[in-house]
Amino acid sequence: MSDLTRQQLTSENMLFRFLTSPDRRVLRHLLLIVFIGAVLYNSASVIDSPVMVFVYFIILFYINMYVLVPKFLFRNRNMAYCLSVIGILVIVAVCGYFLNPFNKENGLNIPLFSFLTALLLAASSSIKLFQKGIIDKQLIYELEQSKAYAELEQLKNQINPHFLFNTLNNANVLTKKDPEKASQVLMKLSDLLRYQLYDSARDKVLLTADIHFLEDFLNLEKVRRDSFDFLISKEGNLSGVQIPPLLFISFVENAVKHNNDATRSSYVNLYFDVRNNELFFKCINSKPVLKPVSSTGGLGLTNVKRRLALLFPATHHLNIEDDPERYCVTLTIKL
């Protein structure tokens, strides 16, 4: 890469950071206010009431940027936005007729005032759309990077050697004691590995398929541990609901990993509920008496939190409760 290219990229990154960074928001607004004030100051010969026009432009600029554009343009309600702009121009023309902040000697200049209003609306809309475009582009890039990393980690951890060894060893023992149960264990293991290897490679999977995967995982854990039990509750209309694959396995793995108790039975309870275009998930697991569970949840939960932030930036809510006797994860996603 040439020095000129590096300088261009550095300049673009600095410009993007200036336009999008929350740390530079105050400076951006101050520059805007100074710019509008300078324009009006140089137009004193045309405008009798520059202070009135200045206040009007500032109010209009921020109403358009923080109310009209997010409420209409960001939601693809273009017609509603156009009608709002037309309504503002009509109000401006009517108010300008009576107040007339321009030079009284030259008479009312409604076309000029309306043009300046439309120009200001276009400028503020362009700034907001440009900022959103940059943020969306960065979000897509991070999501692609996260997906590539997740896929790499998935390939490395698709078959957990320890888990696979224990399951096959249990199946080997069961072939002598209970051949039918050994066959069921091997079938569940086959379904589990097939889902990890093939089905989860897609961008979206059926929620029912992901729940079936979790059920196979917990059933195999139940075979390995005599004092382990689990419950999967399903409510609402789960049929046809699609989600990113392996969305809940990190929570369940964390629950299984940290609830092994040699002194008493342990449990993991899963709850799924779909209603009002929302998916509600809860994972509750018991905690051992002797070894408390870390409230951090490990690297797995850290990664899944980041994944949720990228996949559902403003449409999910995650809550974790760490009580003395149980650990509870609650996740709500707007579909």
CB 231 within 8 A of CB 252: no
Residue 320 and residue 210 share a domain: yes
CB 329 within 8 A of CB 165: no
Residue 262 and residue 116 share a domain: no
149 domain residue, yes or no: no
CATH number, domain with residue 264: 3.30.565.10
Alpha carbons 42 and 67: distance in angstroms, whole number: 30
Residue 176 and residue 257 share a domain: yes
Alpha carbons 128 and 81: distance in angstroms, whole number: 14
Short-list 142, 150, 141, CA closest to 245: 150
Residue 174 and residue 54 share a domain: no
Residue 304 and residue 190 share a domain: yes
Residue 240 and residue 322 share a domain: yes
88 domain residue, yes or no: yes
Tens of pLDDT, residue by residue, the chain (335 residues): 444 444 554 555 666 666 666 677 777 778 877 877 776 666 555 556 667 777 877 888 888 888 888 888 888 888 888 888 888 878 777 776 666 555 545 545 567 667 777 888 888 888 888 878 877 887 887 777 777 666 645 544 544 555 667 677 777 877 877 788 788 788 888 887 788 777 767 778 899 999 998 998 888 888 777 788 999 999 999 988 999 888 898 888 888 888 877 778 889 999 999 998 999 999 999 988 776 544 444 556 777 787 788 788 889 999 999 888 899 999 999 98
16 domain residue, yes or no: yes
Residue 187 and residue 76 share a domain: no
Residue 248 and residue 318 share a domain: yes
Each residue's pLDDT tens digit, 140-161:
877 777 776 666 455 445 445 5
Residue 110 and residue 254 share a domain: no
262 domain residue, yes or no: yes
150 domain residue, yes or no: no
Residue 75 and residue 30 share a domain: yes
Q: Which of 113, 143, 173 is the endpoint of a domain? A: 143
Q: Where are the alpha helices (DSSP H) in 42-109?
A: 50-63, 69-71, 78-99
Alpha carbons 201 and 75: distance in angstroms, whole number: 31
Residue 111 and residue 82 share a domain: yes
Element (H, E) at 122: helix 110-157
152 domain residue, yes or no: no
Q: Which of 96, 114, 143 is the endpoint of a domain? A: 143
- The DSSP code for 64 is I
Each residue's pLDDT tens digit, 8-53:
545 556 666 666 666 777 777 788 778 777 766 665 555 566 677 7
Number of domains in the chain: 2
Residue 66 and residue 16 share a domain: yes
Range of 181's domain? 158-334
0.75 surpassed by pTM: no
64 domain residue, yes or no: yes
Q: Which of 85, 111, 143 is the endpoint of a domain? A: 143
Cβ-based neighbour number of residue 205 at 10 Å: 19
Alpha carbons 217 and 290: distance in angstroms, whole number: 25
186 domain residue, yes or no: yes
